[in-house]
Structure 1
Amino acid sequence: MEIESKPGEFTQESTNIHSRDVCRHDCNDIQGIPWNTSAMNISRRNLRIRRLRTYHAYRSCPIPEENFVDNTLYNDCPFFEFNANHPQAECCYKHFQLRNCVQYTNDNEILYLSRGNSIFSFNPFSRKTRKIKSSAVDIVSYHSWNNYLVCGGLEGELQISDLEGNTIKDIIIADEDSTKITNHCEFFNDGNGVKVMACNNDKKVRIMDPNTLETQLQFEFIACVNKAAISYDYSLIAAALDDEDVYIQDYRTGQMTHKLTGHKDYTFGVAWHPNNGNILATGNQDGVGMIWDIRKGTEVQPLHTLCGFMGSVLNLAFSENGEFMAFSESGDFVSIYDTRSFDERQVIDGFGEISGICFTKEPNSLYFYIGYADDSFNSLLELRKKESDLDF
């Protein structure tokens, strides 16, 4: 082998919105929200004020008295511009804390989780969607590699299927426990062939043979593992846990190498810089993203603190060339940073719970996608990297 959204406040028609439509004022919002009409009898500004005041971001730990100090200097940097909104891509998520449900594939398509435990593919060229897989398993995590798909479920299931939806392997992993959720799963190649990584509530990360789903390596941590990431040189594995600290282990020996201290709640996002094995990004229910440089010692303090606006920071991603890093909050807001300094940010201000984010992989035609999951206006928002101005 090579390998519970909050209801919205209006009803949206399934019509694509493109940048030219907004420029011509054929619609007054990139998501198609009809502000100040009979269908939406409120202004955008007033709803934003209401959301900021009333939105409840879930916390597992007590809110600390002291506030984080944000390192961002510039919040209106136009790195990306709106290109299109696709309401035919009905994005959703299954678990309120697991929001990695929009992913880019090697076939230049976007996979997204939709209703009915189904995974769909969106083709940005044809603008069409097609169902990849439906499952009796409550899918909370998934990842594709070439012609294969791995899915994790609410009861600790792990399935491998082809992209025609046919299940090839199907097991239940994790020790006996009341919550056996497969919080994260993905394919990767560590130089010794394709592997499957599965992160589970039994506090373990398993590295498995995709042909047999037998465990080849196992890493144990102090709490439920919500997500793990392996450094680009396959020397380290970092784990986001039901814990305030983030832990890093040696991929070969399993020995702990670093403890990252600074967050105030449980961590759900973790990603290594694609070209620099010393830089790690984390996202937490405390509403903060942090950037770490592991050269600073075994017990590391954050290099940059990047505050969100309203919700938990549950998902983050680097662009393929490492030029940008983005994180999504549980609702409404996405932040995109220039990674050279992390003090320049573009804020994408939308409305709705966010199911996931992803960059495409072509540096010369870079696109960015956001999944908005809401019963009334779920869609896939498409942004395009702006072309640099020429200096004469």
Structure 2
Amino acid sequence: MRENKITDTSAADARRGKDIQGIPWERLSISRQEYRRNRLEQYKNYENVPQSGESSEKECKPTKKGGAYFEFWHNTRSVKSTILHFQLRNLVWSTSKHDVYLMSHFSIVHWSSLNGRKREVLNVSGHVAPCEKHPGSLLEGFTETQVSTLAVRDKLLIAGGFQGELICKYLDRPGVSFCLRTTYDDNAITNAVEIYESPSGAVHFMASNNDCGVRDFDMERFQLSKHFSYPWPVNHTSLSPDGKLLVIVGDNPDGMLVDPQTGKTVMPLCGHLDFSFASAWHPDGNIFATGNQDKTCRVWDVRNLSKSVAVLKGNLGAIRSIRFTPDGQFMAMAEPADFVHVYDAKNGFEKEQEIDFFGEISGVSFSPDSESLFIGVWDRTYGSLLQYNRCRNYTYLDSLL
């Protein structure tokens, strides 16, 4: 505990001038401002389509910075948030204002901001096998799973792996419920998982794979219910709040809206210039957003898909994770490293708060009550979990406009 007190940073520490990540700039040969300038100049964005980041700039909507929507609360370095795949950054999930689940090396851990403690939920470095018998479940389980993506909702946790593995665990039950391998394709990595509740109230989850497949699983019957195939690897899907539309993005500049019952395309989504790895719906069911390696997040309105509502630009690189607050007020978009942008979604995405730190981002998550924002930071020395809390009387800093 003594180490935690030394290395962690609280809001009170930050107010006294301590760096939120505990970086001792005063003892280093470079200032924070100089290091930031170097990062902006030297960081190389990964692109599948050359020059996509530069080409996208002309469409970007200028935004006013200086918003103060979430304030720094705590940074804990006792939890090391890690990633295994440089393009997949959905490894942090909050189930309450105080409870967070994240990948830390080969363990899925739970962190409580109430007591400042972590506990291991699942270790995938060795042999993981299901303790329940269900049709289609691989009773032999998996060994040394490399987790590529994670999803946690309510009491259900799903971990996807580099070889198409799916490990499903109920947090209120001992052991793993079942293990699946979505495909035996050599290029079968599970890119994303989304847990949702069907109109009937049944819990489902949807897995997106590099084998160009989207698979829907019914957790009441523990069975595959739908399987759709597309012309390119699917990197992320998002189901609309009413369950009637599905956003699909992947290794193609154009995404698509599809009918989740049939898998057929309703409308293409044209505008991005590179491959996409993120998507999210606003709770109102009309607005959704997609994140791309062209360094932009595009905001769309289902009532008029002829063009994007807004094109929002990152500083360093691709937009690899997007989240809306459950109350619909804000949207967060995360770059691969250093920057998380929080936009005022309720007022047209014209104003933003820029959260600035150093390190690769493993994931971002708002709490279900919209009160907290958690950011996983992967770094050899300063790997941590950042927590920001909602500013109830947030103001806009006109002096920074």
Match in the other structure for 2:78: 88
Where do 5+ consecutive residues of structure 2 fail to align?
A: 125-143, 396-401
Match in the other structure for 2:292: 284
Kept after mapping to 1: 8 A contact 2:168/2:178: yes
Amino acid at match of 2:377: Y
Residue pairs, 1:8-47, within 5 angstroms: 15-25=7-17, 27=18, 29-37=19-27, 40-47=28-35
Segment drifting more, 81-90 vs 325-334: 81-90
Distance (Å, rounded) in 1 between the aligned partners of 2:99 and 2:203: 21
Q: 1:302 aligns with which of 297, 304, 308?
A: 308
Amino acid at match of 1:374: D
Match in the other structure for 1:157: 165
**TM-score, structure 1 as length reference:** 0.89
Per the TM alignment, residue 106 of structure 1 is displaced from its structure 2 partner at its CA by 5.3
1:245 is paired with a residue whose SS is: strand
Per the TM alignment, residue 160 of structure 1 is displaced from its structure 2 partner at its CA by 1.1
Where do 5+ consecutive residues of structure 1 fail to align?
A: 1-11
Gap change, CA 1:155 and 1:179, over 3 Å in 2: same
Per the TM alignment, residue 111 of structure 1 is displaced from its structure 2 partner at its CA by 0.6
Off by >6 Å, runs of 4+ in structure 1 = none
Deviations 1:151-194 (A, max 9, x none): 110000111123367222112112x4321001112321112311
Deviations 1:316-348 (A, max 9, x none): 100011100000000101100001210101101
Alignment of 1:60 with 2:48, yes or no, is yes
Kept after mapping to 2: 8 A contact 1:248/1:257: yes
Distance (Å, rounded) in 2 between the aligned partners of 1:58 and 1:389: 35
1:66 is paired with a residue whose SS is: helix
Alignment of 1:189 with 2:179, yes or no, is no
Match in the other structure for 1:367: 372
Alignment of 1:345 with 2:352, yes or no, is yes
Alignment of 1:178 with 2:186, yes or no, is yes
**TM-score, structure 2 as length reference:** 0.87
Gap change, CA 1:259 and 1:16, over 3 Å in 2: same
Gap change, CA 1:66 and 1:95, over 3 Å in 2: closer
User: How many pairs were matched up?
Assistant: 368
2:354 is paired with a residue whose SS is: strand
RMSD between superposed Cα atoms in Å:
1.9
Distance (Å, rounded) in 2 between the aligned partners of 1:324 and 1:105: 18
Segment drifting more, 73-82 vs 208-217: 208-217
Distance (Å, rounded) in 2 between the aligned partners of 1:235 and 1:67: 30
Distance (Å, rounded) in 1 between the aligned partners of 2:147 and 2:90: 11
2:13 is paired with a residue whose SS is: helix
Kept after mapping to 2: 8 A contact 1:258/1:294: no
Kept after mapping to 2: 8 A contact 1:133/1:165: no
Kept after mapping to 1: 8 A contact 2:150/2:160: yes
Match in the other structure for 1:166: 175
Deviations 1:117-137 (A, max 9, x none): 211111111111111111121
Alignment of 1:110 with 2:100, yes or no, is yes
Residue pairs, 1:260-279, within 5 angstroms: 260-275=269-284, 277-279=285-287
2:82 is paired with a residue whose SS is: coil
Match in the other structure for 1:235: 244
Amino acid at match of 1:347: E
Distance (Å, rounded) in 1 between the aligned partners of 2:187 and 2:107: 22
Aligned-residue sequence identity (percent) comes to 33
Alignment of 1:388 with 2:397, yes or no, is no
Q: 1:256 aligns with which of 261, 265, 280?
A: 265
Kept after mapping to 1: 8 A contact 2:149/2:159: yes
1:296 is paired with a residue whose SS is: coil
Gap change, CA 1:336 and 1:34, over 3 Å in 2: same
